[in-house]
Structure 1
């Protein structure tokens, strides 16, 4: 008998083929544009002046960055769709879920392909709205709270980008390429500040970091997309596109914020017991490293690490989701053990993704992350900042190997374990296509991408002393991560001694209170007061009822009375025209005469 597929599986594989075809097409576009030169780009501008009165254009930019990014997003999304058919096999509204995920991918691609901030807001706001719908997908109070925190944090970025559009249109015009012309230093600084702060909201930099772990309330396939190649990378992509506005004090500020965010996420991951949040914190730390590279001017390296990270982080989330599914939803990493015996294929790919995350030599992460660390270290002669950069290597390897040690250790008393042993092989067989599809790219992307793109071939000359220190800090972090797991007595005493700092780290420095409850309540009070005092009273009752409204009502009555007679209407229109010309002449002679 042949294989039988359910309706959900047929739908998932159909969407997989659709997304894979888009990925292949944009990768072909990338190869064609690369063959014409790295600086070659194609702009298709859709003019809407025939449809509306105002001349408005909708530009679409095809260059090696946008085409390669869209190809990567579609490739990852295609395998996530296949994974969803197994992970959410009992979901009643699976078609609705697939539709939301597809909208999420479309919004991300619109953001990537639009060079104009005015049209880019379509994809930016689309990501915000659809991400809220996906976070609250399970429809409980926790998911709703996480969704509100996510959407309110991202709305700050919307406001900043609207300010960016207003200032750029007022100073430079409506053309999307107007930012490339010479501008005043003050205008450039204001626009750069809007870009940096707006990008920080989507990339979850301090103080907007609390929404990222909260977004784990979404289904695991959504988390694989959000934390690999879509939502959190949107802020990084905007910073890359407008990097010419980020200089001077803005670069220094972005560097400090990215380092602070990295250590916030890294130290939090060292004490986190929720396996899904642990992987989310690792994403936050790697996004901070991309922002750090942008602040130092290594834009191509940041994009290189963004693509490599997208592949191995999506693979890591699929492996973690498989472990959670087979353990009946257990997310406490202390209750999971002996994974290589129970899920050998999943465990193998999890090890691959962790090695890429740590930057183990000759893995994909080594070619992107290690070059960023070397490049940043090469920009400093030494001192405390260099020590902080080396600490990022130690922290990453520590929390990564701590997670592996907890998952691979022997079972303990109270371990929930994994049940229904005979079904493991069947489940792994169902997940194998997604794991192999993403795992293949996670293995080869670090070596293949620099061979295809000349801008990613960055050679950093660093002393043997610094290279040895990088490797030494990696080994120390690996030992520290395993030490935290296997030396239980020391670990228990350590946690008791520093219980308050651990609680402080587990709650993300209590940033959720700042970015969620406190900021949201204060903003709502301010807006409600503005609406009550300004809009409802002054504009509605004073200005309109007593002033402009009376004049408009009188002119309307006068217009209706004159319109009854054709000759009177012509006289009325002529008088209005002469009055307008007279007022314009008076204003001109007063100010410019």
Structure 2
């Protein structure tokens, strides 16, 4: 009952937010709501809420997708003995995201930011096993770097007299503000898992599938991109260039890794990583509104993709290896139709929602022409996206049946889950064109040479052929992979980033912290602090009381001892 009420309530608020965003976009108004807590040393401690079309539109998407996922959760987590705890964690996660969306103040952003990190850790370790614990620790430690960067930014902003992000752009000449922007960028790339912090994103797949659908579509990973969109006006050209190369390499690395991965949820996670790189790439080239457009479109089809994958995994007795699947379309036609639609939207097939943002991004980048290296890498990444989507579709839908005889599955087993998925399918088809009419006052029409104009479609076509060939040439492909095992494992393991993030960095820091804990916290500080300090203070206070009560006797005794010593020695 509580689950259904929460779902309908989120859906109602989502529709209200969408209407308000349309009204504010049309009128051009922005509203600030400020609560001034106190002023200290000429710094104003205030809680600010910003209500504009951007925050309301993103908030409506977060709430709509969350309501569909809660509907989906009703059946997916049916046998769970702690379902209410899971729902409360999900609602707390959504609330933290909304707090971050509506706050332009760095201190209140940190509250939502830390809430996301804490609740995501609780959700990743929801299944109590060693894999979940390791994934949760990697997620938490990676995100703490970003949290520490935000704290440093807050400390540096103390000298500006406030923590409002919009005031920073008036001080862009100051080197102090450049440091603050560096901390904001560091926080954003850790939360959005850009290189070198990419390893936690596939590891977070240890969480239940509804959590993955929420995290990878509209909440946790998009928080970093949203923060960059809000604060990108003041970034210097050098910052933009470093961010651009990092995002492009993340796109390429995730595309190559997804073509060599066999875990269904990890393939979709690497796809998320690739799309986040695309958003930040176009943001760095000056298309912040376009990046936000793709952020919203991506949230819809990625949530649907995860929900379809979860329905298949749920029916296959929690099997996630795509080599153990095949012929799923014969038994779950409706789920497979939904998954194919979201896959086509991800690839940028014309006239689905993903086409309206991805094609525009590709043409916008062609107009900018930042360099042949960036241009080539970007379009190669688009081709790789289609390649792993085609490979995934082949393994799931068109290959031979590879599952065991114990598995029996059908769309009838997932009726409630299908209701949640059906709420997103129509939007995945039509929302791209609707949003392009709403967000852009005048339609974008970019005039390019015919080859550059058709290059996106060409890369989609080449990527689909490559993905099909990868799937067809299984034995040849696997023999090639085994022959070049070091290079293949390097690409499949995300350029060894998980090893660097765990054994390379965290391993030594954890050993150091353990030695500090044993020698300092539980050793010298424990001996000279806490317990021993209590005994010392007790002893000296008792001694002081003896002196205060018997000062005359003690004085006469000391004088007598002093006289005896004088007599003895002189």
Please report the TM-score for the alignment, with normalisation by the length of structure 2.
0.88
> Does 2:354 correspond to 1:365?
yes
Aligned with residue 18 of structure 1, among 9, 22, 30: 9
2:466 corresponds to: 480
Deviations along 1:327-372, one digit per CA (max 9) or x if unpaired, are 1111110110112111000000001000100000111111001111
> How far 1:94 moved relative to its partner?
0.6
CA distance in 1, matches of 2:511, 2:367: 48
Aligned pairs (5 A) from 1:487-498: 487-498=473-484
- The answer to whether the 8 A contact 2:298-2:346 is kept is yes
> Does 2:153 correspond to 1:164?
yes
- The answer to whether the 8 A contact 1:327-1:416 is kept is no
CA distance in 1, matches of 2:235, 2:501: 24
Aligned with 1:60: secondary structure?
strand
> Does 2:417 correspond to 1:426?
no
Aligned with residue 466 of structure 1, among 424, 442, 452: 452
> How far 1:186 moved relative to its partner?
1.6
> How far 1:490 moved relative to its partner?
2.5
- The root-mean-square deviation of aligned C-alpha atoms, in Å, is 2.8
CA distance in 2, matches of 1:68, 1:205: 25
CA distance in 1, matches of 2:306, 2:256: 20
Aligned with 1:48: secondary structure?
strand
Aligned with 2:346: secondary structure?
helix
CA distance in 2, matches of 1:385, 1:176: 30
2:560 corresponds to: none
Aligned with 1:508: secondary structure?
coil
1:43 corresponds to: 32
- The answer to whether the 8 A contact 1:346-1:428 is kept is no
> How far 1:185 moved relative to its partner?
3.7
Q: Give the aligned length.
A: 534
Aligned with 2:415: secondary structure?
helix
> Cα gap change, 1:237/1:535 in structure 2, threshold over 3 Å: closer, same or farther?
farther
> Does 2:471 correspond to 1:450?
no
Deviations along 1:175-202, one digit per CA (max 9) or x if unpaired, are 5543232343422321221111111100
CA distance in 2, matches of 1:68, 1:177: 19
CA distance in 1, matches of 2:391, 2:311: 19
> Does 2:383 correspond to 1:397?
no
Aligned pairs (5 A) from 1:188-587: 188-380=177-369, 383-411=372-400, 415-416=403-404, 419-421=407-409, 424-454=410-440, 457-524=443-510
CA distance in 1, matches of 2:375, 2:165: 39
Deviations along 1:261-294, one digit per CA (max 9) or x if unpaired, are 1111110000100011001100000011011111
- The answer to whether the 8 A contact 2:335-2:411 is kept is no
2:24 corresponds to: 33
> How far 1:479 moved relative to its partner?
0.4
> How far 1:501 moved relative to its partner?
1.6
CA distance in 2, matches of 1:473, 1:445: 24
> How far 1:417 moved relative to its partner?
6.6
CA distance in 1, matches of 2:448, 2:432: 20
Please report the TM-score for the alignment, with normalisation by the length of structure 1.
0.85
CA distance in 2, matches of 1:461, 1:92: 58
CA distance in 2, matches of 1:11, 1:86: 14
Q: Which shows bigger deviation, 374-383 or 206-215? A: 374-383
Q: Which shows bigger deviation, 525-534 or 480-489? A: 525-534
CA distance in 2, matches of 1:526, 1:174: 34
> How far 1:525 moved relative to its partner?
5.3
> Cα gap change, 1:456/1:186 in structure 2, threshold over 3 Å: closer, same or farther?
farther
> How far 1:173 moved relative to its partner?
3.8
CA distance in 1, matches of 2:411, 2:283: 44
Q: Which runs of 5+ in 2 are unaligned?
A: 549-570
> How far 1:139 moved relative to its partner?
1.0
CA distance in 1, matches of 2:399, 2:165: 59
Aligned with 2:79: secondary structure?
coil
- The answer to whether the 8 A contact 2:333-2:411 is kept is no
1:3 corresponds to: none
Aligned with 1:242: secondary structure?
helix
> How far 1:524 moved relative to its partner?
4.0
CA distance in 2, matches of 1:176, 1:380: 31
Q: Which shows bigger deviation, 197-206 or 466-475? A: 466-475
Aligned with 1:228: secondary structure?
coil
Q: Which shows bigger deviation, 498-507 or 195-204? A: 498-507
> How far 1:256 moved relative to its partner?
0.7
Deviations along 1:227-264, one digit per CA (max 9) or x if unpaired, are 00001000101111110232211111011101111111
Aligned with residue 82 of structure 1, among 49, 71, 85: 71
Aligned with 1:181: secondary structure?
helix
> Cα gap change, 1:173/1:74 in structure 2, threshold over 3 Å: closer, same or farther?
closer
> Cα gap change, 1:175/1:369 in structure 2, threshold over 3 Å: closer, same or farther?
closer
Aligned with 1:204: secondary structure?
coil
> How far 1:536 moved relative to its partner?
9.4
